[in-house]
Structure 1
């Protein structure tokens, strides 16, 4: 099972850039396979890392084995020819260690700030991927009638004989259907939990006959780990209310209704979003999750997306690396 880390470098400049880079070196040393970063623009207070691609470049230069992924690049915000070049450069610089997660994006303030109509994001998302895919392989031109001005400047082939790993994040039937039709694996979300996404995806596969790409997909879980089950449950009980408050604040910031968000009990949280317990508990839960979903990769969030102090999160990652990673890898 591929086991990655996510959730760091969100928020403001509470941690120095050097410490963030050192964290990534620690993630590699502990033995995780990759690290993922989210893209947020025009936040207040300002985000330290609105550009996941620039951050990825710095991390890839400081590591030797670790993969770096974007979860996600909001492709409707970018010109696809320039984005194709940037991704190809990261692929080349890193020796193929860059993973591109893409999505439509839903934050209305970002779209408004850039003058992009929300109703255009589906077309921009789907057309952007097609242009990038062609640019990486045989060369691409933008034709009349697309979301960007027509261009007769061919870009590519940029990666002779190579491919960039591309994942799709999304919860709507349109986006999941696009991923299925293009044969792209999924980046499944924590919020909402992936159950509804998987049900929709399986329905699409049954109706349209596409190949299933879940084995290559990735899901996500918060992690509350401790030396004993009792200690981990105490951490979990303190974590759930803070996570609930964070979800309420995030929904309001994105302009989504928050009145339907309910704080889960311990059992529900563990069933949908959280791996919690002793190292042996974590091994059992991840093994069950893998066999139940058919998904062989997980993005693990040790810091609660900024809720947990970085030092505490690193200590938990160290314990996970000593006692869980070896068991999951045979």
Structure 2
């Protein structure tokens, strides 16, 4: 089991570089496997850009892996995105993990001049083009949406053939797509442990069908978490945090709270063990408030008990 931590991305009072450097340094000192950001271009939360924040994190750290979960790649131009991610991989010394997803139907695709009916085909074609930009010295690409002839992109990512691609998604079709095209799978924070366990079963069956070894295919899950000696305080923190995050998308904190893991250190440990038993070998721990305090408590009271 590899513990990972979510990097704070919401700054209602403005970005605090001192706090961010302190958080990242401490995450590395505590030996977290990786630190992750999310992506939100449109929304009510003051959410920093993912690539920009990862570049900052790369300059503040030396060993910890850095990831984004998830990029809605169908609203990005794949050539620009390939260049951006290659640059971040170079800046980080080859420590980048890239999460990709289709995006939910509530995504405002019209803002990006994307027809929602084409989002799956754009997603798969864009991924092929990004990988071509990362691996081919001369890029000849004749797709439905994008065409290149004799193009070149340098530098390539430091990792070969490119940063690991973690697929997101919750539907059976999305999970099977991960088995076919991805390097790893990341369960969503908005899914319960029971839903995640079902997705893992579908994923492993699909991996066998694709002739891939399920034992060498990394599986992770984002977990919204709150540790508090008073379980009711923990639930209130989770509910308030999820309400801030998801109300823009029509969800209320109290209704989505069951997806989170909260309570005393012992209760959180037990619930995280259930996620690991369901198939997660990477636990992306996502505090919703008091990020530094929560990271310290997770590292001191929860993670050692999971070993």
Query: Is the TM-score greater than 0.5?
Result: yes
The offset of 1:244, in angstroms, is 6.2
Q: 1:131–1:140: 8 Å Cα contact kept in structure 2?
A: no
* Distance 1:157-1:58 versus aligned 2 partners, 3 A rule: closer
Aligned to 1:34: 34
The offset of 1:68, in angstroms, is 1.4
What is the RMSD computed on CA atoms of the aligned residues? 3.1
1:152 and 2:138 correspond: no
1:5 and 2:5 correspond: yes
1:324 and 2:307 correspond: no
Aligned mates of 1:161, 1:245 — CA distance in 2? 38
Aligned mates of 1:262, 1:301 — CA distance in 2? 18
Q: 1:214–1:295: 8 Å Cα contact kept in structure 2?
A: no
Q: Give the unaligned 5+ runs of structure 1.
A: 253-257
Aligned mates of 1:13, 1:107 — CA distance in 2? 31
Point out which structure has higher relative CO (alpha carbons under 8 A, 6+ apart): 1
1:216 and 2:222 correspond: no
Aligned mates of 1:235, 1:318 — CA distance in 2? 18
Aligned to 1:117: 115
* Distance 1:31-1:145 versus aligned 2 partners, 3 A rule: closer
Aligned to 2:260: 273
Aligned mates of 1:169, 1:213 — CA distance in 2? 19
Aligned mates of 2:78, 2:256 — CA distance in 1? 40
- SS of equivalent to 2:120: helix
Aligned mates of 2:269, 2:165 — CA distance in 1? 28
Aligned to 2:79: 81
Spell out the pairing of 1:191-202 with structure 2 (5 A cutoff).
191-193=190-192, 194-202=196-204
Aligned mates of 1:148, 1:104 — CA distance in 2? 18
Equivalent residue in structure 1 for 2:94, among 93, 96, 104: 96
Tell me the TM-score normalised to structure 1 length. 0.78
The offset of 1:238, in angstroms, is 2.3
Q: 1:225–1:277: 8 Å Cα contact kept in structure 2?
A: yes
Instruction: State the aligned residue count.
Output: 303
Spell out the pairing of 1:160-179 with structure 2 (5 A cutoff).
162=160, 163-179=162-178
Aligned to 1:58: 56
Aligned mates of 2:237, 2:44 — CA distance in 1? 25
- SS of equivalent to 2:42: coil
* Distance 1:70-1:240 versus aligned 2 partners, 3 A rule: closer
Tell me the TM-score normalised to structure 2 length. 0.83
* Distance 1:18-1:80 versus aligned 2 partners, 3 A rule: same
Q: Give the unaligned 5+ runs of structure 2.
A: none
Which stretch of the first structure deviates more once superposed, 198-207 or 131-140? 198-207
Aligned to 2:273: 287
Aligned mates of 2:214, 2:173 — CA distance in 1? 16
The offset of 1:182, in angstroms, is 2.1
- SS of equivalent to 1:263: helix
- SS of equivalent to 1:68: strand
Aligned mates of 2:223, 2:55 — CA distance in 1? 25
The offset of 1:113, in angstroms, is 1.2
Aligned mates of 1:80, 1:244 — CA distance in 2? 31
The offset of 1:115, in angstroms, is 0.9
Which stretch of the first structure deviates more once superposed, 82-91 or 120-129? 82-91
String of CA shifts for 1:11-52, please: whole Å, max 9, x gaps: 64454244333322232233322221111113347x351x21
Aligned to 1:296: 281
